[in-house]
Amino acid sequence: MVIAMGLRLIVLRHGETDWNREGRYQGCIDTRLSREGHVQSAAAARALAQRRLAAVYSSPLARARETADLIAAPHGLTVSEDPAFAEICHGLWEGLTVEQVRSEFPDLYAAWQERPHTVTMPEGESLAGVSERVFNRLNRLRADHDTETVCLVTHGSPLRLLLL
């Protein structure tokens, strides 16, 4: 898929959470930033304070929203939450550590590591589903903010899909 854009998009992953440090799958569980995550998010806000941002968009999950709020504040902007930019739903893996998933779902975990595009999480999502919602919304952002600079605060899976 080729997308020509006049939109300038700054994409950021949310700051650290305790679960990131513990190696837990968060997915759609609404975890908050850790103390270090607040420090990271404040640093991102300072780095972007001199940029002219037309809008700040965020996943509705607290860890992304907290990061986006810090970025939007110096610009006097209100964050626009959008569920299209939420993290992949890891289903039954959510709350488990990588080691627990590797032990309880060995074949699926191996497939996720080697061929993630072929995996649908048990009671969760596939990368194809996440890709569809992210790129559909990105096309609307492009139309709404052509020639403007927008900051998007999201999660690992949507970011990887955008970068690919």
Q: Enumerate the active-site residues.
A: 14, 155
Beta bridge partners of 56: 151
DSSP 15-71: PPBHHHHHTB--TTS---B-HHHHHHHHHHHHHHTTS--SEEEE-SSHHHHHHHHHH
| Pairing outcome for strands 149-154 and 55-58 | parallel
| 107 half-sphere exposure, CB direction, 13 A CA radius | 2
Structure tokens at 39: 């420090």
CA distance 5 to 25: 33
